[in-house]
């Protein structure tokens, strides 16, 4: 009995010799003859055990939960699973079925609790705007803008098409469009479909139709820009012109 302590069990560190001395002292204590257990020790234990209920993973699970031992609870579920899936006839069918039912109940309870926890967390975080931030600030500016841009449509000015093309807003660079602040600019809200969603505005929709923009030659006449209506004052001439350009192209 008592395996000899090896100095390598100490690992690295200062004062190994002193620690080895302490280990030898403990070793000597462990080597001391402890005597022979009393003859009827097993009977004594079995008499004590007879008063106990049959051990089961379910009981152990409850005890672990009451004792605040999640590790024990997990172990009980694992043992129940082992009993339920053990091959051969070593485990009676009733015990096997009981263990399987227990595992299923625990699994359902765990899934239900997890779902509730996720839903609760989503509600808490969503309500505080952390998870689902509501964006009320950009939406008003975007919803207002489509109305003036649509109004210039009936103006029959064929000259307006060239006037719009040279505007820098018609050629949005990717770097600019990536910034959310660009969505507030009226020049990019020319298409009503884009203005509805802020996420759509950064996408370079105008750049998808490059064939219409490369007509810079007739620019020198900015005069025909329509007289803006009161609600149209915020929209730039470029925007209205580009709208008409789209119309013409269509």
Pick the closer one to other proteins by CB: 41 or 132.
41
Residue window 103-142: x/- pattern of binding to other proteins, with contact defined by CB under 8 A: ----------------------------------------
Only one of the segments 75-83, 156-164, 180-188, 193-201 lies at the binding site for other proteins (rule: CB under 8 A); that segment is 75-83
Least gap, CB of 92 to other proteins (angstroms): 5
Q: Among 7, 70, 76, 195, which residue sits at the site for other proteins (rule: CB under 8 A)?
A: 76
Pick the closer one to other proteins by CB: 70 or 192.
70
* Separation of alpha carbons 122 and 118, rounded Å: 6
Q: Does 27 bind other proteins (CB under 8 A)?
A: yes
Least gap, CB of 142 to other proteins (angstroms): 57
Phi-psi region of 106 (alpha: psi -120 to 50; beta: other; left: phi over 0): alpha
Q: Does 48 bind other proteins (CB under 8 A)?
A: yes
- Of 211, 94, 228, 108, nearest to 161 by C-alpha is 211
Q: Does 66 bind other proteins (CB under 8 A)?
A: no
Pick the closer one to other proteins by CB: 78 or 178.
78
* Separation of alpha carbons 76 and 61, rounded Å: 5
Q: Among 10, 144, 155, 176, which residue sits at the site for other proteins (rule: CB under 8 A)?
A: 10
Distances (CA, A) of 27 to 2, 12, 35, 186: 8, 20, 17, 85
In the block, residue with structure tokens 């507030």: 184
Instruction: Read off the tokens for 164.
Output: 């719009």
Q: Among 70, 84, 86, 246, which residue sits at the site for other proteins (rule: CB under 8 A)?
A: 86
Helix (H, G, I), strand (E, B) or coil at 221: coil
Helix (H, G, I), strand (E, B) or coil at 97: helix
- Of 234, 224, 248, 249, nearest to 195 by C-alpha is 234
Q: Does 41 bind other proteins (CB under 8 A)?
A: yes
Only one of the segments 15-23, 112-120, 121-129, 145-153 lies at the binding site for other proteins (rule: CB under 8 A); that segment is 15-23
Q: Does 4 bind other proteins (CB under 8 A)?
A: no
- Of 237, 232, 218, 233, nearest to 167 by C-alpha is 237
* Separation of alpha carbons 184 and 145, rounded Å: 9
**Half-sphere exposure (Cβ direction) of 50: Cα atoms closer than 13 Å:** 6
* Separation of alpha carbons 161 and 228, rounded Å: 17
Least gap, CB of 114 to other proteins (angstroms): 23
Contact residues for other proteins (CB under 8 A)? Answer: 1-3, 5, 9-11, 13, 15, 18-19, 21-23, 25-27, 29-38, 41-42, 44-46, 48-50, 52, 54-61, 63-64, 71-72, 75-76, 78-80, 82-83, 86, 88-92, 95
């Amino acid at each position: 009995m008592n395996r000899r302590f090896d100095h390598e069990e100490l690992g690295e560190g200062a004062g190994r010799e002193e620690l080895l001395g302490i280990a030898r002292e403990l070793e000597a204590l462990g080597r001391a003859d402890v005597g022979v257990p009393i003859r009827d020790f097993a009977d004594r234990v079995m008499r004590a055990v007879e008063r106990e209920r049959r051990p089961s993973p379910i009981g152990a699970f409850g005890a672990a939960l009451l004792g605040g031992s999640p590790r024990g609870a997990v172990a009980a579920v694992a043992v129940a699973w082992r009993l339920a899936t053990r091959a051969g006839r070593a485990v009676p069918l009733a015990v096997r079925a009981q263990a399987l039912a227990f595992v299923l109940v625990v699994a359902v309870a765990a899934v239900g609790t997890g779902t509730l926890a996720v839903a609760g967390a989503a509600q808490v975080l969503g309500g505080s705007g952390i998870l689902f931030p509501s964006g009320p600030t950009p939406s008003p500016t975007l919803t207002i803008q489509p109305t003036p841009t649509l109004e210039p449509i009936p103006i029959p000015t064929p000259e307006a098409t060239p006037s719009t093309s040279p505007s820098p807003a018609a050629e949005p660079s990717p770097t600019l469009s990536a910034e959310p602040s660009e969505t507030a600019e009226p020049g990019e809200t020319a298409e009503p479909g884009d203005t509805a969603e802020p996420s759509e505005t950064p996408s370079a929709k105008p750049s998808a139709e490059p064939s219409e923009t490369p007509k810079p030659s007739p620019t020198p006449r900015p005069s025909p820009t329509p007289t803006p209506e009161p609600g149209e004052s915020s929209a730039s001439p470029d925007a209205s012109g580009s709208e008409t350009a789209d119309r013409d192209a269509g």
